[in-house]
């Protein structure tokens, strides 16, 4: 993982975006950050890595 803080921020921003239109299920920024950190730790524990895309590799 290149920058864990950046990854956590991206995940937390996405979590907040999902919950913003759900009035019965709101989540605050701090809770989203904690959730993002837990998601990142779970991915790392599972042996997965989040890495930047290599622009030299062609994708479909």
Q: Three-class SS string for 8-39?
A: HHHHHHHHHHHHCCCCCCCCCHHHHHHHHHHH
- Structural domain boundaries enclosing 31: 4-45
- Band of pLDDT at residue 41, cut at 50, 70 and 90: very high
Q: Is residue 15 part of a domain?
A: yes
Q: Is residue 39 part of a domain?
A: yes
Q: Is residue 58 part of a domain?
A: no
Domain count, the chain: 1
Q: Is residue 59 part of a domain?
A: no
How confident is the model at residue 23, as a pLDDT? 81
Q: Is residue 53 part of a domain?
A: no
Cα distance between residue 52 and residue 50, in whole Å: 7
Q: What is the pLDDT of residues 13-39, one digit of tens each?
A: 999 999 888 888 888 899 999 999 999
- Band of pLDDT at residue 51, cut at 50, 70 and 90: confident
Q: Is residue 40 part of a domain?
A: yes
In the predicted model, is pLDDT for residue 1 greater than 80? Answer: no
Q: Is residue 54 part of a domain?
A: no
Q: Is residue 30 part of a domain?
A: yes
């Amino acid at each position: 993982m290149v920058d864990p803080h950046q990854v956590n921020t991206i995940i937390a921003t996405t979590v907040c975006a999902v919950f913003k239109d759900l009035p019965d299920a709101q989540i605050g920024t701090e809770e989203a950050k904690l959730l993002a950190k837990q998601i990142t730790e779970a991915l790392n524990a599972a042996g997965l890595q989040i890495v930047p895309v290599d622009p030299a590799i062609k994708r479909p």
